[in-house]
Amino acid sequence: MPELPEVQTVLDGFTEAIKDKYILDLECYYPGTVIHDPEQQDEPFPAKMISTRRRGKYMIVELDNGSSFIIHLRMTGKLVFSTLATEPLPHERARFILEGDELVHFIDIRTFGKIIHCTSTNVSSYLPNLGLEPLEQEFSYATLAAKLKSKKAPIKTVLLDQSIIAGLGNIYVCEILYRTGILPTTPAESLNPKSIKNIVKECVTVLNQAIQMGGTSISDFRRIDDKTGEFQRFLQVYQKAECPLGHKTKRIVQGGRSSFYCPICQK
């Protein structure tokens, strides 16, 4: 499931694929996958990308005609580059058609992913309330502590809340909590300053490492060139029977999602 490092990996690949090329069309094969802003003009193509950026798990692609794409992969969305296919691929929900018979396919088994095409001035109105960007300057002990203050919910649930920190998902939250030795059930407001500082530090370390590895290929995540990421080799508790020290891990359900942790290493 794509989280911040996977989204960044996909966005880097997508940026490279469309750079300096005309986008000729965006076709949709599944109702609801592509959403058109009512204020968006009817004939936006051809157009070229002038910038791409990421906000949490959202990718934002700005075009030179005043419009933008907002892409969210949700759980099973993928962007796949090709130069050959013409018929829709299995689970292909949309495709970008580029000059020179090049294509970028939006493949999404569970159909939760979205591509919003809107005027660039309307981008922010399509984004939800998103919290701290963990790889930006704003992410620090002070800003995170302020967000955790008076949050009674378990730290696991709070770190998954995109309005607190934008970009973390189940895998990285489990890994960060293991590496900081914090039990996922700990009420967020009860964490001491040292623990919060550790979360900031490990969060940045783990996310940067994962980006460097091209993301985590659990289940079916792939880069745009269909290569796997490699961070799964560095996972310490997520879907593991034992932690690196050989202790048996536990699995509990919090907010409907599995938390993996080590009852000995995490307190």
User: How many residues touch DNA (CB under 7 A)?
Assistant: 31
**Applying CB under 7 A, which of residues 143, 162, 185, 186 lies at the interface with DNA?**
162
**Residue 173 Cβ vs DNA, minimum distance, rounded to whole Å:** 8
Using rule CB under 7 A, residue 77 touches DNA: no
Compute the C-alpha angle 88/89/91, nearest 5°. Answer: 105
Q: What sign results for the dihedral spanned by CA atoms 138, 139, 140, 144? A: positive
**Applying CB under 7 A, which of residues 15, 111, 122, 186 lies at the interface with DNA?**
111
**Applying CB under 7 A, which of residues 9, 26, 57, 131 lies at the interface with DNA?**
57
Cα dihedral 133→226→210→124 (10° resolution): 0
137 Cβ partners below 8 Å, 6+ apart? Answer: none
The radius of gyration computed from the CA coordinates of the chain, to the nearest angstrom, equals: 20
Cα dihedral 213→217→221→222 (10° resolution): 50
* 117/224 Cα distance (integer angstroms): 21
- The stretch near DNA (CB under 7 A) out of 12-20, 51-59, 194-202, 227-235 is 51-59
Using rule CB under 7 A, residue 149 touches DNA: no
Using rule CB under 7 A, residue 38 touches DNA: no
Q: Which of 54, 57, 95, 114 is catalytic?
A: 57
Interface with DNA by CB under 7 A: which residues? 1, 3, 32, 56-58, 72, 74-76, 91, 109-112, 128, 151-153, 157, 160, 162, 169-171, 251, 253, 255-258
Q: Which residues are catalytic?
A: 2-3, 57, 257
